[in-house]
C-alpha cells in the first residue's frame, strides 16, 4: 500500500471504528445510539456512565452494583493527602495529573482499576484545591454521584444545583476521538496500563485548545460592562485576525447542540440577566461576522459560575466527567488492538556531512 498524506491535525481522517459515540449527519451527538442531550435531560449520571462504559443502559440490579463499585473507590489515602499538603500545587490540572499517576490503587482487575480511578477524581480535585490552600478536606456526603461532586466542589449540599451540574457532566462525558481520548488510545495501543493512559489523557486535556478553554472564558466575560462593549471586542478581535474564546469546533460547523442545551439551562438559572444578554450578543455577532457557532465551553463557563463553582475546577470537572468515556475507549482500543504509529513526511535537510 502506498504512502497516504493526511491533512494536518488529521482533520476529516477516519482512523478507526468506535461503538461509543459519534456526531451524526444532523450534527447530533449520540452516546451508544442515544441522543446525549436527551440523556442529559432525562437520565442520571450513573445511568449514562454505565451506558458509556458497558454499552447498554443498566437494569436496576446492574445500576446498584455499579454504584456500589464506585462507592468502594471513595476515600483518599492519608499518604496522598500528605503529598498534596507538601506540594501545595495551585494548578488543579497539574495536581490531578500527578495524583492520578502516583495513587496507590487497590484494584488488580483492569476494569475495576479504571472505575476505582474514575471514582477518585472528584475527591482528588477537592482535596488538592483545599489542602494546597490551607483548608481541611471535606467529608463527602451521601447522595447521588452528582450531589457528591457538587458538595466536594462547593461545600454545599444543594440537590437542585447538583442536578443542573449533573446535566453538564453528562454532556462532558464523551465526545468520540477528541484530543485527550485519542491520546489515551495511542497510549493504550502500546499496551500501557490504564494509569499511564489516563495520565496521558489528563495532560492533553489541560491544553487551552481542548479542555483548558473553559477556564479562560470567564475572564473573557468579566471584562464587559454591557452588550455594546462585548460586540466591539468581538469586532476588534476579528479585525486583528485573532480568536474569540468559546467559538469554533472541529466537528460542529453550524451548531453545537450541547451549547444550545446549556444555554437553555443557563436561562433557567439566570433568566434574562446582563450576562446572558452579553453571551447571546457575542454568539449572534460571531455568527453574523464569521458563521462560527458557540461551542459548549462558551456557555458552560457561565453556567458553572452561576452554580457557584470556582474557575479552578472548570477543567478538572471536565476530566471527572470525561474519565468514564476514557474507560470505554481504553477497553475498546484493547479489544481489537493495533499499535498506533503513523509516519511523517520529512521536510528537513539531507546529505549533510559531519
Q: What proportions of the chain, in percent to the nearest 5, are helix, strand and coil? A: 60, 5, 35
- Give the cell for residue 343: 509516519
User: CA–CA distance from 10 to each of 118, 250, 342 (Å)?
Assistant: 29, 10, 11
Task: Give CA separation, 315 vs 39, 235, 322, 340, in Å.
Answer: 22, 28, 10, 27
Q: 227 to each of 84, 143, 149, 246, 275, how far by Cα in Å?
A: 42, 40, 34, 17, 9
Three-state secondary structure call for residue 184: helix
Alpha-carbon distances, residue 150 vs 7, 139, 155 (angstroms): 41, 13, 8
Residues with active-site annotation: 249, 297
Amino acid at each position: 500500500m502506498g504512502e497516504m498524506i493526511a491533512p494536518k491535525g488529521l482533520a476529516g481522517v477516519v482512523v478507526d471504528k468506535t461503538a461509543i459515540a459519534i456526531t451524526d449527519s444532523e450534527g447530533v451527538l449520540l452516546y451508544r445510539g442515544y441522543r446525549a442531550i436527551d440523556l442529559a435531560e432525562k437520565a442520571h449520571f450513573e445511568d449514562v456512565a454505565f451506558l458509556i462504559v458497558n454499552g447498554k443502559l443498566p437494569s436496576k440490579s446492574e445500576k446498584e452494583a455499579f454504584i456500589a463499585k464506585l462507592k468502594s473507590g471513595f476515600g483518599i489515602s492519608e499518604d496522598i493527602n500528605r503529598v498534596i499538603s507538601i506540594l501545595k500545587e495551585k494548578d488543579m490540572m497539574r495536581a490531578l495529573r500527578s495524583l492520578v499517576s502516583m495513587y496507590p490503587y487497590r484494584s488488580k482487575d483492569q476494569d475495576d482499576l479504571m472505575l476505582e480511578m474514575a471514582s477518585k477524581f472528584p475527591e482528588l480535585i477537592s482535596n488538592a484545591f483545599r489542602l494546597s490552600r490551607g483548608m481541611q478536606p471535606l467529608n463527602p456526603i451521601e447522595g447521588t454521584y452528582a450531589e457528591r461532586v457538587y458538595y466536594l466542589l462547593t461545600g454545599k449540599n444543594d440537590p437542585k444545583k447538583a442536578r443542573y451540574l449533573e446535566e453538564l457532566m453528562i454532556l462532558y462525558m464523551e465526545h468520540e476521538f477528541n484530543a485527550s481520548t485519542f491520546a489515551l488510545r495511542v497510549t493504550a495501543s502500546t499496551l500501557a496500563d490504564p494509569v499511564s493512559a489516563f495520565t496521558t489523557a489528563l495532560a492533553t486535556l489541560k491544553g487551552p485548545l481542548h479542555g483548558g478553554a473553559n477556564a479562560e472564558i470567564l475572564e473573557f466575560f468579566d471584562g464587559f460592562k454591557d452588550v455594546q462593549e462585548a460586540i466591539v471586542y468581538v469586532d476588534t478581535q476579528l479585525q486583528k485576525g485573532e480568536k474569540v474564546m468559546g467559538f469554533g469546533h472541529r466537528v460542529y460547523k453550524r451548531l453545537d447542540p450541547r451549547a444550545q442545551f446549556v444555554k437553555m439551562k443557563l436561562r433557567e438559572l439566570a433568566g434574562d440577566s446582563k450576562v446572558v444578554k452579553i453571551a447571546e450578543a457575542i454568539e449572534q455577532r460571531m455568527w453574523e461576522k464569521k458563521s462560527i457557532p458557540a461551542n459548549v465551553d462558551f456557555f458552560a463557563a457561565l453556567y458553572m459560575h452561576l452554580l457557584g463553582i470556582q474557575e479552578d475546577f472548570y477543567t478538572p470537572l471536565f476530566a471527572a466527567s470525561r474519565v468514564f468515556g476514557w474507560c470505554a475507549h481504553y477497553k475498546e482500543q484493547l479489544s481489537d488492538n493495533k499499535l498506533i504509529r503513523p509516519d511523517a513526511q520529512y521536510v528537513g535537510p539531507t546529505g549533510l556531512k559531519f
